[in-house]
Structure 1
Amino acid sequence: MELRTWLKPLIVVPLLLIVLGLVRTTFAQFEPPVNNSYVTATFMEFRSTGNVPHFHAGVDFSTFLREGIEIRAAADGYLVRLEIDEGGIYGNTIVLQHENGYRTLYAHLQRFAEKTDFIVNMLRSEFGNQRIVVEFLSDDVKFQRGEVVGYSGKTGEATQPHAHFEVRDKDEKYVYDPLRFIDVKRLKPVQMGIVLKSLLISDKEYQYSPGAVYTFNGDYPKISVEAYTELAKNLLGVKEIKLYFSNELVYHIILDEIPLDFYEKPYTVYHEKTTMTSLIYKAFYKLYSDEELPFVKVNRVGEFKRLTYDVKVEISDVFGNSGVFTFTLKRG
């Protein structure tokens, strides 16, 4: 059972609604929520945890496998929601509203900041350990840029302590890649690079080999690529993929924002053979689609009817890494 309540801390006045315009082409800079950290999971990665498969709607920052690490506000803002919850996907969560019109979300917290303890303790003493969502109708509880909002934990679906960080619009209808807002040069430097491990062509898997020749069936090639940013022993999702036939762009996907209506539709991006377990992450990005999707910018794969295709795949990530991979396809 979920208990949802609304609080006007200390005052009883009508809610003042402020309309804040969002300009998607201009993004304010946010601070990383963890000092001297690095990214351990990226935006729109595949997840099969919880009740249904879904996208990873934010970025994870390392807290070095430790609970109790300070999680800090990305910018000046005020509290709009607390989710008091040991279970679920997000666990204990805090959401802030910022003057630029965006909201930031901090999840999997072990506990909240001391300035909100009186609210949390009051609600827990009255309603027990059930899930409680608290919406704040005023801007009384303010946080300054860099101020502690909570402490790292592994509540919710987290298997290890870390900081899950999201950026949303004020109506929470869209979620954005947080690394668009953060100067990634300020993150702890870690050696990384783009890798393409394998291909799915007409649902048949091949190990990728540069310049190799593969066969396909059907009216046009249905290609999926198992690609990552490789960071030490960790595999991160990529940001952008371009597919070329004979140097002509035929498919272009950019994974930098999604409507939250797509949260539980990861198979619009990933092939059904994508696998995620506690030990395995094998993610295949589909480079074809039969429907219009907000993150697909070019979709012309089906226009080409050839016996042979010279294929080039360009893959890049938000950290500035890129890779170019080539092979040939012949109709089987």
Structure 2
Amino acid sequence: MKAFKYLFLRVTLLSLLVISVLSAALYQLPVDNSYVTATFLEFRSTGKTPHFHSGIDFSTFLKEGIPIKAVEEGYLRRLEIDLNDIYGYTVVLEHLDGYRTLYAHLSKFSDNAEKLANMLRDEFGSKRIVVEFLSNDVKVAKGEVIGYSGKTGEAAQAHCHFEVRSKDEKIIYDPLDFLDKGALKPVQMQIILKRIVVDGVEYDYVENANYKFKGSYPKIAVETYTELAKNLLGVKEIKMYFSGNLVYHIILDRLPMEYWEKPYNLYNEKTLMTAIIYRGYYNLYAEDSLPFVKVNSIDKYSSSTYSVQLEVSDGFGNSRKFSFNLVRG
């Protein structure tokens, strides 16, 4: 990637924009008649170092120039003007509920912002430009077009990357918890469990099969997804039971930003992501305290055999149970 000098600007602009009335708690979709093509905290190996996918992606049906809309009324807080940064052209809004939303990989901004971007590009060339709006002068209405879909940054295909962050941008949240999911384009989906790793040995998953382990307790990782429109999406929650007792529980609903470049806290080393392959293995054990691990008591069990049940759920309301057995050997 070409090296760029960074330019950081702070500006205050006056703008006459329509203000919408205070809306319901749920945000509208940033893309009309769309569906989700990538979910929160999936593994990513793009950029300088592996990291979590910190938002969700909406299909723009591989087209550039599709309108991207503000999910709620608020104020413009930041423009990022950079073709080669991981996010590409980016808009950040702040809303009355205190959250910020981010829209990335845009091909261009809305008319007024694009005029400002062109002026800055003319003056500063290909430098990375970050424009911060410190006041509430630039108001944005719910449903207002703030940019157009593209593939700037490290997007392989045109789409809309969307995030929800805390006001200080130190915590990222699963956007599906904020959106009106009933407005998503209906797409057939199901939860699948493809493979299981036990103490480093990988197996195809077979319902009620027996798998061997050797350690003081079984170190398990599972390759599981929501299959949606032939895409494999990450899941949101996994519960693991030993003989009916909950021993491990993860919920992927939020993440402090200091963990953004630490995806191997969640994913097994067998996880692989290329331009055409995504194989994500969730570790169901942890030696450290992690923000997404709610229950971790596997090391308190010392049996030679376990009847294991997994309950896997996604952010769309789907849930499915899987069963297998572990035998010390």
The alignment's TM-score, normalised by the length of structure 2, stands at 0.95
Please say which of residues 60-69 and 113-122 is displaced more in the overlay. 113-122
> 1:55 is matched by which residue type in structure 2?
F
- Counterpart of 2:9 (choices 5, 8, 25) is 5
Which residue does the alignment assign to 1:287?
Answer: 284
Structure 2 stretches lacking a partner, 5+ long:
16-23
Which residue does the alignment assign to 2:231?
Answer: 234
Partner of 1:118, secondary structure, is: helix
- Counterpart of 2:44 (choices 24, 32, 47) is 47
* Separation of aligned partners in 2, 1:279 and 1:102: 34
* Separation of aligned partners in 2, 1:155 and 1:106: 12
Q: Is the 8 A contact 2:312 2:321 kept in 1?
A: yes
Deviations 1:267-321 (A, max 9, x none): 1110011000011100000000000011100000111001001000100001111
Q: How does 1:168-179 map to 2 (within 5 A)?
A: 168-179=165-176
Q: CA deviation at 1:134?
A: 0.7
> 1:329 is matched by which residue type in structure 2?
L
> 1:5 is matched by which residue type in structure 2?
L
Which residue does the alignment assign to 2:158?
Answer: 161
- Counterpart of 1:95 (choices 81, 89, 92) is 92
1:325 aligns to 2:329 (yes or no): no
- Counterpart of 1:83 (choices 77, 80, 83) is 80
1:151 aligns to 2:155 (yes or no): no
Deviations 1:222-244 (A, max 9, x none): 00000000012110000000000
> 1:199 is matched by which residue type in structure 2?
I
> 1:331 is matched by which residue type in structure 2?
R
1:224 aligns to 2:201 (yes or no): no
Which residue does the alignment assign to 1:15?
Answer: none
> 1:60 is matched by which residue type in structure 2?
D
Structure 1 stretches lacking a partner, 5+ long:
12-26
Q: Is the 8 A contact 2:14 2:138 kept in 1?
A: no
Q: CA deviation at 1:194?
A: 0.3
Which residue does the alignment assign to 2:21?
Answer: none
* Separation of aligned partners in 2, 1:10 and 1:249: 55
Which residue does the alignment assign to 1:314?
Answer: 311
1:57 aligns to 2:61 (yes or no): no
Q: How many residues align?
A: 317
Q: CA RMSD in A?
A: 1.1
> 2:7 is matched by which residue type in structure 1?
L
> 1:325 is matched by which residue type in structure 2?
F
* Separation of aligned partners in 1, 2:310 and 2:14: 57
* Separation of aligned partners in 2, 1:187 and 1:135: 32
Which residue does the alignment assign to 2:18?
Answer: none
Which residue does the alignment assign to 1:119?
Answer: 116
Partner of 1:309, secondary structure, is: strand
The alignment's TM-score, normalised by the length of structure 1, stands at 0.94
Deviations 1:106-146 (A, max 9, x none): 00000000021232122111101211011111111111000
Q: Is the 8 A contact 2:43 2:263 kept in 1?
A: yes
* Separation of aligned partners in 2, 1:201 and 1:286: 10
* Separation of aligned partners in 2, 1:259 and 1:104: 16
Spell out structure 1 runs of 4+ moving beyond 2 A: none
- Counterpart of 2:210 (choices 196, 208, 213) is 213
- Counterpart of 2:244 (choices 247, 250, 267) is 247
Q: Is the 8 A contact 2:198 2:213 kept in 1?
A: yes
Q: CA deviation at 1:10?
A: 4.9
Which residue does the alignment assign to 1:278?
Answer: 275
Identical aligned residues as a percent: 61
Which residue does the alignment assign to 1:17?
Answer: none
